[in-house]
Structure 1
Amino acid sequence: MKKVGKRFDKNNIDLISSFLNLKDSCYTFEKHFLGKDFHQTNLNKLSFISYSSFYSSFKDVCDLPLFFLLNEEVSNEHERDFVPEILLEAINSEKFKSMYDKESGSKSHGGNIHIEEIRYLLSQNYNQIVGSMMLDFSVSSFSVFEYWIDYFYNKLCQNHKHEILQKRRNEKRIIIEKNKDNIDVCLDKISKIPGDFISFPDKLSGVLSFVKKENYKRDLKHDRKIIDFLSKKRNAVHNLGIHRGADYELQHKGVDFVLKQDEPIKCDSWVDCLAITGELIKIYTAIIASIDLEERQVESFVEPRIDNLAIEILSKSINECFIFCDDNEESVSIFKGMLVNKFGFDEESSIKFIDNIKNNKENLDFSNISGIIALSAMRL
């Protein structure tokens, strides 16, 4: 293994750096494109309010591979001292049940085979495990892109959906009129027309119809090729990582990315794979940025995640503390303790939250406390 600073595996460190680069891009766009209030609220990591977006979702799917790679380096640094002990404890626990087939009379190999298999896995099969992890990331990262394109489409593209469905109905009507004397031909042709399902390529086209091409700062034609490539790569998960479609090749920034028919997904460089996947972040941002401001509605690309019960409890507590008790020292102390013990605030953030509430005290009433809570949570 190549070590960095005589300690860590260089390939793993490069992968960790690449995943951190992806997260850093998301943090940057979340703050400077969506807005610092959304960004700050998410950084506060409060249990009752957060804002989900393409960027927060993409950050989340980077966490599992980062968790794996970081733990791999920690474990490897200690030469996996505790692996045998962990396996033996698991095998000797009451939850481990040795297989026994009554009909054939065959017994399992017991714990020994697992110890040997894990030893081989850790010493000889690591690259294959990383490959599986990267395929999983291809699936989850593209799913993030697909979800948020779908989210935008459902918010703003209802006319596009209506046009597609109406076109299909018209096609069916024409088929019926031309083949009314031959029911079998009629049914065969109609069956080939999709029903009410709108495919992802159609939804992407609907979203892109909002794009002002003069505002799009990238090569849209090339970006669609990137999306198509990553979509085909993601779909290989349905075939154990084997690409079943025709050969597909994409060249991006001097690197060739190739999918070979009936062959497993391969990549010469995992770092390059992450780089092409990271283009989804830039593509999504370019799409949203190129849409006219009057069409760029926040609710079409930001989804609040609110714990309504927690907000209701907070609202009542705020009323008791700051209205009925006129924010006396004792009531404020009780309220602060509740923030720390039940709502995940730390000492500093609880003080800032209380100060924010006090600054809005003149606006407090039962009709707008939820909004003030959200605003106060943004500015910790």
Structure 2
Amino acid sequence: MNNDDKRFAPVSNPEDIEVENMLRNYYQKEISEYPDFAKMAERAMAEGDTLKTESTIKAKAWYLTAKRTILTAAVLVLILGLLKFSFYAMPRWEAFAYAAVQSVPFAEHLISKQDVGLLQEAKKGNIQAQELSATVDGFRIDIVGTYADSNRTVIFFQLNPPPADSGSWMPESIKLVDQFGMSRYNSYSVSMDSDTNKGMIEFPAAPAWQRVLGVRFHLEIGVLNWTTADFSKEKSGPWTMEWVQEWQDAKETIHPAAVVSNEEVEIKLKKVILTPSSTKLDYTAEFKKSVAHENLEMYIEKASDGTRYEFLSAGFRTSGFSKAGTGDILFPPLEGAREYRFVIKRTDGIAGKWVLPFTIPK
């Protein structure tokens, strides 16, 4: 280390003194344009603390938001999990796994030739296979397959009477109840092959809101009637079976808002629901005077060439002293994006023809 004190000796050379003074003046001027370092450091530290606090707050806010979102999602998952668990484990309900979707061998022999949509679904293997059975006094009923979409629910079954009671039997007093214990399916139809004791039961569709968590059905057949001339012989049940039902969603739902009216009646076409198995039309009729209800002649026709589609089944419910009612009609599937007409003739004894157009979009 160099400890020579001469390095710190005052400058004596006039030229050096002049250069030193020039440098001193220059740096003094430059420094004067900046704030005091202590104040600058204090301000910088304060800004740093503020920045840290703001960053922490923002980070905490983001973290809390994310945390709340994650916790909410976790709670929802837990709720859905519990609901799904209750769906399978609720008391009084036996847990049935979803069966493989495959054809029920005899289904196509029970479905009418006019019901081309359901027949096609059976041939495609879209009937949900079931292995459900109930026996009362030697009479066994097997459910071998089910089908459900936004328009209807269909149950395929096999009747097995004991040898001593062989013959043609018809199930009656049938109830279909959902997992909430509510029966919304009071109207149904039964088709039977008396030679084989095979049959199908058709109900309206379950409400759409039930499909969020799935639908469990509880079927109860109260009575078997022997199909003699007077139906004098019967066997009392009930035969009960439970299962989880799969669904085919609607392909299209249309709200035509078509209206036709005259001086006696007004008819509105409210909704058209297209599913793989059928087309359903929902309509209302308001009569301007009470009338006696008669059978309706109604069909869908293709606007381009008049091709006619006959209805498969229909229901009409009245209210208000028979002056108003709602109806739903089931037709075969329609052929793609086209213009169609819903035609009604002889509405409840009132002569005439009412045409309500609707279009299936591309």
TM-score, normalised to structure 1's length?
A: 0.19
Q: Which protein is bigger by CA-based radius of gyration?
A: 2
Relative to total residues, which structure has the larger strand share, 1 or 2?
2
Higher relative contact order (CA 8 A, sep 6+): 1
| Greater fraction of residues in helix | 1
